Amino acid sequence: MAKVLFFGRLRDRAGLGEREVALSEVVALAVFRHLASAGDDDLEAALAAPSVRIAINATLAPSDAACSVWPSDEVAFMPPFSGG
C-alpha cells in the first residue's frame, strides 16, 4: 500500500486528506497520479498542475519525469505554500 497525502486546496478538492493506493509494483509518477485520483479526472488534472510540488517520503521530488513510486511510499501533493 502506498499512502497519498493531499494538502491545502487539493485536500478540499479530493474531499479527504489522505488515501491508500494498492500498488504491487513500482510505477511512474504519472501512473500513480491517476491511481491517486481514484477516477476523478478533475482531481488528476489538479494534481498535474505545474505549481503542485510533490514530496516522496518527505523529500521534495526533483522532477516529474524522474519520479517513480514504490508500494511502501508516502506521496504528498502540495499546492503553492503560503506561510508567514
Cell (9 digits) for 62: 526533483
**Residue 62 DSSP class:** S
Nearer to other proteins, 39 or 84 (CB): 84
Cell (9 digits) for 13: 478538492
Contact stretch for other proteins (CB under 8 A) within 2-10, 20-28, 32-40, 62-70: 2-10
Q: Which of 23, 28, 35, 78 binds other proteins (CB under 8 A)?
A: 78
- Of 5-64, which residues contact other proteins (CB under 8 A)? 5, 7-9, 11-12, 55, 58
Do the bridges between strand 2-6 and strand 74-78 make them parallel or antiparallel, or are there none, so unpaired? parallel
Task: Output the CA–CA distances (angstroms, integers) from residue 49 to 39, 40, 52, 70, in the order listed.
Answer: 17, 15, 6, 22
Indicate whether 2 belongs to the interface with other proteins (CB under 8 A).
Answer: no
Q: What is the binding site for other proteins (CB under 8 A)? A: 5, 7-9, 11-12, 55, 58, 76, 78-84
